[in-house]
Structure 1
Amino acid sequence: MKIGVLSLQGGVIEHIDHLKHLDTDAVEVKTLNDMKDIDGIILPGGESSTMGKLLRISGLLEPLKNKIIKGLPVWGTCAGMILLAKNIENDPVTHLAVMDITVRRNAFGSQLDSFKTDKFIKDVSGEPVPLVFIRAPFITSADREVKILCSIDDQIVAVRKGSMLATAFHPELTDNLAFHKYFVSICKQYRKREL
């Protein structure tokens, strides 16, 4: 099982460490060549506008978008969720635009408003999962076909559509591996279909 982590900017190493704990071959994705033979890709937290620019400059944007449309599992955390969204409130510029969601940037407030909470997410774990929010977005609307996995105070913070997963929070900043296990399971389903 080979899972890539987009490594242009943002919280890359933490995702790689979590994947390695799950005996997964975790690779940094910086070039088209790095995307060969991956069974899934994580788009980490960071600065979504900067990541979007770097995706364009590196020539990764369209090839990655095409792979996702064809079924490659993808998980966007925080800024990664913004990269996946078809609509970004108050911003006409979208990036990969593959997921039928509308997001609001920094929706929970500034860095000072960062917080951590625990939440039971039935699809992901039988135990409550720690959720870390840092200048986090949330989803203001989602298409009918998008499954809502988690909401906080009526704000949507985790969704899935097919092999696409998006979270407003940062599971990689906790010791809990539940979300990474969940994503690996999505990648395993994809790999079985491809073989």
Structure 2
Amino acid sequence: MTGTVGVLALQGSYNEHIAVLRRLGWKGVEVRKPEQLNDLGGLIIPGGESTTMAKLAEYHNLFPALRDFVKTGKPVWGTCAGLIFLADKAVGQKTGGQELVGGLDCTVHRNFFGSQVESFETELSVPELAEREGGQPTFRGVFIRAPAVLEAGPNVQVLASYSFPLSKPSTTDSSVVEEGKVIVAVKQGNLLGTAFHPELTADTRWHSFFLKLLTPNGEEASTSAAGPEKPDRIDLPVFVD
């Protein structure tokens, strides 16, 4: 099943990821139990409410299996809450915190961009994505109660950053957060993390980028991977505590 991608299906936008995988000609399967990780070619941890997802993962005893999967070297992609899961360290958490899978050498602020009403869309500069997947040099980032990477290790490749209003509090003391700028997409070996939701746009380039990590010699994931010039606008889902 090396051509099969698992999508953690505890909560959040897992159906949307599976739909994009289907568009690109790949099989996506829902993962809720440790044994369902066996023989997968890769894994997507979707966006949702990270604390709720962590509690459900703990209930199903998924954390040891998820950590083992990351250590296999198979590609794993975390979007929004999934990025939090993959980070080695998370700040801005609720009382008591939450368990993490880890693997990405970075510190993530769990709710950097604020509450649900502060969710937004913006054009992100993505030169690496455009070079590999074609299409426009920008990507429409959908941020829903999104995290951000505050610190990244030397082996972490920054794929996208976002310039935020200078009034944004308590962020400029980080060693890699320039004044008014924060990291929102990273790659480290087999691990990919995005603070935004590519699955909620019509542009499939991030999925194609991820799928090429599963294929030898970077073979094409799909001829439609570059996506449309102007992705369709869709309504944002509501994720609540």
TM-score bracket relative to the smaller structure: over 0.9
Please tell me whether the aligned partners of residues 116 and 131 of structure 1 are also in contact (alpha carbons under 8 angstroms).
yes
Hey, what's the Cα distance between the residues in 2 that align with 1:75 and 1:39? 12
Q: Larger C-alpha radius of gyration, 1 or 2? A: 2
* 1:89 lines up with 2:99 in the alignment: no
Q: Secondary structure at the match of 1:3?
A: strand
Which one of the candidate residues 3, 7, 18 is aligned to 2:5?
3
Deviation at 1:119, TM superposition (A): 2.3
Please list, as runs of the form range in 1=range in 2, the aligned pairs for 1:111-130 lying within 5 A after superposition.
Answer: 111-125=116-130, 126=134, 127=136, 128-130=138-140
> Counterpart in 1 of 2:160?
150
Aligned residues: 192
> Counterpart in 2 of 1:107?
112
Deviation at 1:191, TM superposition (A): 10
Large movers: runs of 4+ above 3 Å: 90-94, 189-192
Please tell me whether the aligned partners of residues 111 and 146 of structure 2 are also in contact (alpha carbons under 8 angstroms).
yes
The code of the aligned residue for 1:158 comes to A
* 1:67 lines up with 2:69 in the alignment: yes
Please tell me whether the aligned partners of residues 46 and 78 of structure 1 are also in contact (alpha carbons under 8 angstroms).
yes
> Counterpart in 1 of 2:82?
80
* 1:98 lines up with 2:103 in the alignment: yes
Please tell me whether the aligned partners of residues 87 and 94 of structure 1 are also in contact (alpha carbons under 8 angstroms).
no
Q: Cα RMSD between the aligned structures?
A: 1.8
**Structure with greater strand share of residues:** 1
Q: CA-to-partner distance for each residue in 1:35-72, whole Å, 9 max, x for gaps?
A: 12211100000111111121121122101111111202
Please tell me whether the aligned partners of residues 39 and 188 of structure 1 are also in contact (alpha carbons under 8 angstroms).
no
Hey, what's the Cα distance between the residues in 1 that align with 2:4 and 2:218? 10
Q: Please report the TM-score for the alignment, with normalisation by the length of structure 1.
A: 0.93
Percent of pairs identical after alignment?
Answer: 41
Q: Secondary structure at the match of 1:68?
A: helix
Q: Please report the TM-score for the alignment, with normalisation by the length of structure 2.
A: 0.76
> Counterpart in 1 of 2:215?
188
> Counterpart in 2 of 1:57?
59
Hey, what's the Cα distance between the residues in 2 that align with 1:187 and 1:81? 19
* 1:176 lines up with 2:203 in the alignment: yes
Please tell me whether the aligned partners of residues 149 and 159 of structure 1 are also in contact (alpha carbons under 8 angstroms).
yes
Q: Secondary structure at the match of 1:45?
A: coil
